[in-house]
Amino acid sequence: MRAVVLALTLALVASQSVNFAPDFAASKTYVYKYEALLLGGLPEEGLARAGVKVISKVHISAVAENTYLLKLVNPEIFEYSGVWPNDPFVPAAKLTSALAAQFSIPIKFEYAKGVVGKVLAPTAVYETVLNVHRGILNILQLNIKKTQNVYELQEAGAQGVCKTHYVIREHAEPERIHLTKSKDLNNCQQRIMKDFGLAYTEKCVERRQRGEALMGAATYNYLMKPADNGALILEATVTELHQFTPFNEMSGAAQMEAKQMLTFVEIKKD
């Protein structure tokens, strides 16, 4: 009996010593492959959609304690305007060339225990380019609780401070964990959004009683390798969906869909 108790105690201590929060060690550069897709249009297939896709390598390295450098390497932009999903993305060579100098400027960000702090960028960086960096940093935002596998909290992110549900479980592969989080973008303490072109509109009380015209949600899936000093993100996929129904559900809706994929490539020694 004592042996069983001792074994359980050692297992508990070992599990608590493993850190699930992502971390990037000093004197190393973490290389990832990044792909982001943004499409707007009607939700049904076989109808028109328009959008852009960005493909790039991402380098992350430490420059000081809890301060890191994020740099995009060889970014490419593609445009989409056609019938989804039959028509292909078309390389936007002119746009890629025009923004090449902007994309080559690295940014700094504060990061501790999976939480992103201040983002530091030169004033010369365009807001559009900075939003690409924000999208990547939004993937890194992880509020890990060591003593709970399922929990909810109001989490800060690119969309605001919104209700987020976490589920952490073991993966089928050894020394891997699978983390899923979902965000309800209609349940936020603070919502980052901008209304424009509404100078002559009025609020419809009846419509709001039937439900919000703009609905949004985001899901994040991570495959991670835990370690004593901090976990390594091996793969992350994000799907964010915003749906606008100005009249009612039966009449259909317009939607904006954003997808991101971050895949670990290698670690380089500086």
Q: What is the pLDDT of residue 233?
A: 96
Rounded to an integer, what distance in angstroms lies between the CA atom of residue 149 and that of residue 32? Answer: 27
Q: What is the pLDDT of residue 49?
A: 94
CATH classification (class only), 23-269: mainly beta
Q: What is the pLDDT of residue 10?
A: 37
Q: What is the pLDDT of residue 4?
A: 41
> Beta strand pairing status for 150-157 and 160-170?
antiparallel
Q: What is the pLDDT of residue 13?
A: 40
159-179 residues labelled b (16+ CB within 10 A) or e (exposed): bbebbbebebeeeeeeeebbb
Alpha carbon separation from 113 to 24, 50, 118, 152, 158 (Å, rounded): 10, 38, 14, 18, 18
Which residues are bridge partners to 157 per DSSP? 160
Q: What is the pLDDT of residue 75?
A: 97
Q: What is the pLDDT of residue 40?
A: 94
| pLDDT tens for the chain, residues 1 to 270 | 454 433 433 343 444 556 788 999 999 999 999 999 999 998 888 999 999 999 999 999 999 999 999 999 999 999 999 999 999 999 999 999 999 999 999 999 999 999 999 999 999 999 999 999 999 999 999 999 888 899 999 998 888 899 999 999 988 788 899 999 999 998 988 776 666 666 666 666 665 555 567 789 999 999 999 877 889 999 999 999 988 876 655 556 788 999 999 999 999 998
Cβ within 8 Å of residue 39, ≥6 positions away? 49, 50, 51, 80, 84, 256, 257, 258
Closest to 267 in 3D by CA, of 24, 20, 21: 24
Q: What is the pLDDT of residue 143?
A: 93
Both tokens of 10, joined, read 């050692």
Cβ within 8 Å of residue 149, ≥6 positions away? 167, 168, 169
Closest to 49 in 3D by CA, of 95, 90, 81: 81
Rounded to an integer, what distance in angstroms lies between the CA atom of residue 260 and that of residue 54? Answer: 9
* Secondary structure (3-state) at 100: helix
Neighbours of 138 (CB within 10 A): 18
Q: What is the pLDDT of residue 244?
A: 81
Neighbours of 65 (CB within 10 A): 8
Cβ within 8 Å of residue 40, ≥6 positions away? 49, 50, 51, 254, 255, 256, 257
